Amino acid sequence: MADTNDNSKTALITELNGLLADHFALYTKSKNFHWHIKGPRFRDLHLLFDEQAIEIRDQIDGIGERVRKIGGETLTSIGSITKHTNIKDQDSASLDPDAMVRELRDDNKKMVDRLKGMKPLAEDAGDNATDGLIDDWTDMAEERVWFLSSILGEEPTAA
């Protein structure tokens, strides 16, 4: 008979590594936009992109350590980040400000979706600590979506 808790833990570790990859990728994209923003809203967006990048960066270690605490192995390279992320690269240094905001909003929505999909995995694995962290990480990602949606004059949509 298969150990379903072990299977649940393995699925949770896989998704935590995906979340870790998303954070690395979104951090890099946020810094790209921070460095390359131009135009009349430069200062406000430059600062916002940096604030969001720092928030994302500061979650990376906690996610990786959570993987290790529950017995998994974390991502090991840029290649493993690329393999596991849902965030698409953006190599342009000349997007207009609204396109940058829209792309970061959409990427943060993807992160919210991933986080919400992880809740049942944590519950199935009986991992209360990860379950609680997912709530915190979801709240932070939803706040980023809200800020970025508001810049575009939109209401954030429920994920």
The domain segmentation of the chain, as residue ranges, is: 4-151
Answer for the pair 156, 149: CB distance below 8 angstroms, yes or no.
Answer: yes
Answer for the pair 86, 114: CB distance below 8 angstroms, yes or no.
Answer: yes
Answer for the pair 68, 8: CB distance below 8 angstroms, yes or no.
Answer: no
Q: Given CATH 1.20.1260.10, say whether it is the number of domain 4-151.
A: yes
Which pLDDT score is estimated for 2?
42
Largest Cα–Cα separation, the chain: 63
Model confidence pTM above 0.85 = yes
Which pLDDT score is estimated for 155?
86
The one-digit pLDDT tens for each residue of the chain (159 residues) are 344 568 999 999 999 999 999 999 999 999 999 999 999 999 999 999 999 999 999 999 999 999 999 999 999 999 999 999 999 999 999 999 999 999 999 999 999 999 999 999 999 999 999 999 999 999 999 999 999 999 999 987 755
> Burial code of 48-69, b = ≥16 C-beta within 10 A, e = fewer?
bbbebbebbbebeeebbebbee
Backbone angles phi, psi at 2, to 5 degrees: -75, 145
Which pLDDT score is estimated for 6?
83
Answer for the pair 141, 112: CB distance below 8 angstroms, yes or no.
Answer: yes
Residue 98: strand, helix, or coil: helix
